[in-house]
Amino acid sequence: MNQESWMNSKWRPAMGWTYMAICILDFAVFPIGWSVLQAYADGTVTSQWDPLTLKGAGLFHMAMGAILGIAAWSRGQEKIALSSTPIPTTPPPTPKMPINSNSEDPAYRNTRND
């Protein structure tokens, strides 16, 4: 079995969780905190939060989208390569009808009386 380090095997989920945390902070937590801070300091909210990750035409989000998208695609290709080995399959067993000499009482009868 191939022993990879934690960082080699878990960097894709770590990037996803990091990006999600940055978005939650920049679009939810910091704007609320900024408004509360202004309300406590001056009594009124005079300016709104300007998201840090949207500076520079949102290049941060485009870069993270590219990194996460390519990482997801490459992981999919790895899984396809691992699962390309054929797995032998056997057909399911067919049920055998019992031989019944009494034709009035079949072995498989309708018990719901439909």
Let me know if residue 60 belongs to a domain: yes
Let me know if residue 67 belongs to a domain: yes
Let me know if residue 77 belongs to a domain: yes
Let me know if residue 92 belongs to a domain: no
Residue 67's nearest CA partner among 106, 7, 22, 16 is: 16
Domain hosting residue 22, numbered range: 11-82
Q: Look at the chain and report how many structural domains it folds into.
A: 1
pLDDT per position as a tens digit, 43-97 = 888 899 999 999 988 999 999 999 999 988 988 888 888 777 676 777 777 777 6
Q: How many helices (H) and strands (E) does the chain have?
A: 3, 0
Banded model confidence at residue 11, pLDDT cuts 50, 70, 90: confident
69's tokens? 């998208």
Let me know if residue 19 belongs to a domain: yes
Say whether pTM exceeds 0.85: no
Residue 15's nearest CA partner among 4, 27, 23, 3 is: 23
Let me know if residue 106 belongs to a domain: no
Let me know if residue 98 belongs to a domain: no
